[in-house]
Amino acid sequence: MIGKKVLLIDDDVDFLALAVRTFEQIGAKTITAFDGLEGIGKLLTHDPDLVILDILLAGMDGFQVCQRIRRFSNTPLIMLSALDQDQHMLQGLEAGADDVLSKPVNAKILLARAQALMRRNRQTNGQRTGHGYGDGHLAINFESHSVQIENQEVKLTQMEFRVLSFLLSNADKVLSIEQILFNVWGSKYCGKDDYVHVYISHLRSKIEQDPKNPRYIQSVFGVGYLFEKQNDAASFSGRATEKQLT
């Protein structure tokens, strides 16, 4: 992480001191903010490579801050929770976080998660697998890292694009939850099925005409998901039927 910029948004002075020391020891530059508004301002000013955001902030909480950030930025983001980890994990993912860790945070674990997240984003940004996909309605371009619906840009976070890319690269093939977790998040996330379900929900809300009756990202009951290619835009006049294994 030499030369990378990490924005830390937290009002816990002790945690900030620990995090600053942890990241600067491996060559990263740290920027600190004590509340959400200051954090958003520094994100715009410094354009960091990673954001670490506490949920329990005075005024605007971390969920609100994350939602605001996701309106204009897909910067990798880790949220920190000191309360109910399961509930906050779901809320954090739904707000747009790429990962959620429980406080108190072990410095080595925080660093490992941060490095893994940034490594995955580098891999996604470095993809060179041809054009991607297009059917007259949806267009996905791996090289430009872009998604369009009816020629209108659709904004995806880095992690949303990574999930979509993995599904598309295995189009018309059923992928288990475990396969998606392992290939998108890594082996340490096995068992965290909610990560997959939340991001599938995000993607459906952005690329499907009717997220409750998806055409592209199909559910396979009891197994996982698959991306189903469409022949042309005319096919969107019908309703999708959820696939089930027999």
Q: What domains can you pick out in the chain, each with its CATH number?
A: 5-125 (3.40.50.2300), 156-237 (1.10.10.10)
Q: What percent of the chain has pLDDT over 90?
A: 57
The whole-number average pLDDT for the span 113-133 is 69
Q: Residue 67, SS3?
A: helix
The Cα–Cα gap between 212 and 239 comes to 10
Q: Contact 6/76 with Cβ under 8 angstroms?
A: no
pLDDT at position 132: 79
Q: Which residue has the higher pLDDT, 27 or 245?
A: 27
Q: Contact 79/100 with Cβ under 8 angstroms?
A: yes
Instruction: State which H helix or E strand residue 169 sits in.
Output: helix 158-169
Residue 90 vs residues 73, 115, 159, 180, 197: alpha-carbon distances, Å: 20, 22, 15, 18, 10
Backbone angles phi, psi at 236, to 5 degrees: -85, 5
Paired sense of beta strands 50-54 and 5-9, if any: parallel
pTM for the model stands at 0.69
Q: Which residue has the higher pLDDT, 19 or 238?
A: 19
Instruction: State which H helix or E strand residue 31 sits in.
Output: strand 29-33
Q: Contact 199/159 with Cβ under 8 angstroms?
A: yes
Least confident of 86-90, 125-129, 228-232: 125-129
pLDDT at position 228: 94
Residue 167 vs residues 22, 25, 185: alpha-carbon distances, Å: 35, 37, 13
Mean pLDDT score across all residues of the chain = 86
Q: Contact 52/1 with Cβ under 8 angstroms?
A: no
Is the pLDDT confidence value at 131 over 70? no
The closest of 179, 165, 153 to 127, measured between CA atoms, is 165
pLDDT per residue as tens digits for the range 15-60: 999 999 999 999 999 999 999 999 999 998 999 999 999 999 988 9
pLDDT at position 186: 83
pLDDT per residue as tens digits for the range 164-220: 999 998 899 999 999 999 888 888 888 889 999 999 999 999 999 999 999 999 999
112: which 2 tokens? 């490992």
